[in-house]
Amino acid sequence: MSHKVKFINTNQSAFFATTRKRVELYFKENNLSKNGNGLMWTKAVFFLAGFLSLYLLILSGWFGVWAMLGLAVLLGAFAAFIGFNVCHDAIHGSFSQNSRVNKGLSYFFYLIGANPYLWNISHNIVHHTYTNIPGHDEDIEVAPGLIRLDESEKVNRVQRYQHLYAFWLYGLASLSWVLRKDYVKFFQKSIGQHRAKHPKKEYFNLFFYKILHYFLFIGVPVLVLHLSWWQAALGFLAMHLAEGVVMGLVFQLAHVVEGTDFPVPNEQGNVEEAWAEHQMRTTANFAPKSAVASFLLGGLNRQIEHHLFPKVCHVHYPAVAAIVRKTAAEFDLPYLESPTFFAALQSHYRTLRRFGKEAYREQARSMALVS
């Protein structure tokens, strides 16, 4: 990264000013808090209790090998749901008006193997600012060299098949996160454009809670169930593969589908549009009418509203969405949305193919014409 990215077209800021004013009015007229309500707390209790119950059932030793493996997979899915429904809002500061409650709930991120301090930097600060900008948004750098989402990157032979193997790589997302990613991010010079001198306590938190996670999900099963290390490791692997698939698909379907942009700053590092307009062009919703998706995914099926209003709890997104959609139409801005999860999945597949196989064909055709 040779330049710091700046959004310079302030003429479009009227869209966000209008949208924000209308959203503020909605909460005021309905006498509502922007933070969580009874539904939010019900969801938090449900997913945390479900996770604990599955963990205890595994440690009970009442089940056979295959049932235990199935419980590990479910445990991984519930870990992702805790991340979506509890930690995500808490780290954004939108779960509760009380900052201590938010901080306390964010600590459940450690339980599922992630680091809330690093997530706040890489997601809240970097990703939410530089969404889908290659070389700056690390959230779209799933597997450099294997997954291509940058028009300026020369496509290689392997990437021709990324629409086939990318989904399998998503399963490794959580495993990479818990074993490698947080360590790498912590000790690299910068995360995106953000340079931070980490507080000393974060060095302790990084290693202590990682070790605690390994102990809880590998060490304890070995001690309680008298498993061999490789059997416990297999359950650990199954849990994180399930967590990775759920997390990977949800985040990819929000930004890597047909219609979303991957803008490249000019030589001066400028993106010639306002930040809010940039969010509208790089973010997409899916399954907006699905009660199941809304309940399980913590509002992340409505990423447009989340990116514009990250400090608003996700239980309010359906009402906010109506305002954003109406205002976007007035300002002639896109509002990208897939009607169902499977429609978004198909769109993501076609996008991977466009950046991989189709780009490779075009590259080969251009080289043939030159020669």
How far apart are the C-alpha atoms of 141 and 150, rounded to whole Å?
Answer: 10
* pLDDT per residue as tens digits for the range 48-96: 999 999 999 999 888 888 898 999 999 999 999 999 999 999 999 999 9
Instruction: Tell me if 356 is assigned to some domain.
Output: yes
Q: What does the chain come to in residues?
A: 371
Whether 255 and 140 have beta carbons less than 8 Å apart is answered as yes
Measure the CA angle with vertex 213, ends 212 and 215; round to 5°.
Answer: 65
Give the pLDDT band (50/70/90) at residue 1.
very low
**Token pair 């600060």: residue:** 125
**Range of the structural domain that residue 280 is part of:** 6-370
Instruction: Tell me if 250 is assigned to some domain.
Output: yes
* pLDDT per residue as tens digits for the range 115-162: 999 998 888 888 888 888 877 777 777 777 788 887 777 888 888 898
The percentage of the chain sitting over the pLDDT mark of 70, rounded to a whole number, equals 95
Q: What is the pLDDT of residue 171?
A: 87
* pLDDT per residue as tens digits for the range 190-227: 776 777 788 899 999 999 999 999 999 999 999 998 88
Instruction: Tell me if 299 is assigned to some domain.
Output: yes
Domain count, the chain: 1
Q: Which two tokens stand for residue 258?
A: 């047909």
Instruction: Tell me if 296 is assigned to some domain.
Output: yes
Helix axes 13-29, 275-282, angle to 10 degrees: 80
Instruction: Tell me if 133 is assigned to some domain.
Output: yes
Whether 2 shows a pLDDT value over 60: the answer reads no
CA dist list (Å): 83 to 19, 180, 233, 255 = 28, 18, 22, 18
Give the HSE-up count for residue 52: Cα atoms under 13 Å, Cβ half-sphere: 7
Non-local (6+) Cβ contacts of 91 within 8 A are 102, 106, 109, 116, 119, 120, 123, 124
Instruction: Tell me if 1 is assigned to some domain.
Output: no
